[in-house]
Amino acid sequence: MVSMGDVRLMANDLDVGHGGRTVLKQVDLSLRVGEITVLVGPNGCGKSTLLRTVAGLLPPLGGEIRIDGEPLGSLGRRALSQRLAFLPQTSQAPAGVTVRELVRHGRYAHRGALARHTAEDTEAIDWALDVTDARLLVDRRLDELSGGERQRAWLAMVLAQRAGVLLLDEPTTYLDMRHQFDVLDVVRRLAREHDIACGVVLHDLMQAAAYADEVVVVADGGVAASGSPDQVIEPEVIQRAFGLRVNVVRDPATGYLACFPRRSEASAATAKP
């Protein structure tokens, strides 16, 4: 039996890339039960490539990945899908599909597309709909939903896999501020209350500070820093990774960290020619 903080997925000395090009080298990464690990870094630094590699969608160019202590490469596609769920930046479903039909797809990892629906499937689907607050959406078509509702439906689909590892690639993209936080609240609840190890790619450092147990900064072909938000979201790390000088402050009401460009640089960036 796993407990809070146990490592569910581990990558050691991992090299990742695509098209014959190495993007990141010697990456160490651990996803723990009940915790959220957030990957941040500048555009094009390799965050999504790293996430797709540990999801088993891209072959590693070096190093190893283990899930529950077993080599990732030793698991077949269905066995891996029972342990790990991945939601990419953008997902597409057939036109006219309802939320109920979409979420049922999450059970294919256990039953296959043509197998009979079981009581276990019903329980998993009901749980996924409840935890994402998507039950009232089940009879609506996906293309009729708002961005936030649609993202909750996709989350419910991957959760129906009942996997112990959840990987999300920029789940807040294209959402307004309220729906961004709604989705991240769901992810935090999944980690804390349902013992899921979550790995999430985010662009927003303040969201990372608010939701992450561990922040991994990806830059310059590797991991530039990793640790708690207090350890990582600090001026020297941000300047090294993003090339931007910032002030880091703590919100007295929430205790969360926030960073802002230093006034002279912000003024120069917005000055009219």
**Would you say residue 140 has pLDDT above 60?**
yes
Mean pLDDT of 177-184: 89
For the segment 10-25, what is each residue's pLDDT rounded down to a tens digit?
999 999 998 889 999 9
Contact 107, 127 (CB under 8 A): no
pLDDT at 273 over 50: no
Whether residue 178 has pLDDT greater than 60 = yes
Contact between residue 86 and residue 158 where contact means Cβ atoms under 8 Å apart: yes
Mean pLDDT, residues 194-221: 95
pLDDT of residue 162: 92
- What phi and psi, each to the nearest 5 degrees, are found at residue 243? 70, 30
Domain boundaries, the chain: 95-163
Q: Is 148 a residue whose pLDDT tops 90?
A: no
Q: How confident is the model at residue 111 (pLDDT cuts 50, 70, 90)?
A: low
**Residue with the larger pLDDT of the pair 17 and 174:** 17
- How many separate helices (H) and strands (E) can be counted in the chain? 11, 12
The per-residue pLDDT of the chain, averaged, comes to 90
pLDDT at 213 over 60: yes
Mind listing the pLDDT tens digit for each residue in 25-47?
999 999 999 999 999 999 999 99
Number of other CB atoms surrounding residue 43 within 10 Å:
7
pTM, whole model, 2 decimals?
Answer: 0.89
Residues 55 and 216 sit within 8 Å (Cβ to Cβ): no
Length of the chain: 273
Return the number of other C-beta atoms located less than 10 Å from residue 217's C-beta: 27
Cα–Cα distances in angstroms (integers) from residue 90 to residues 17, 110, 151, in the given order = 20, 24, 10
Q: Rounded to whole angstroms, how far apart are CA atoms 155 and 187?
A: 9
Does residue 269 register a pLDDT over 60? no
- The mean per-residue pLDDT over the stretch 228-234 comes to 94
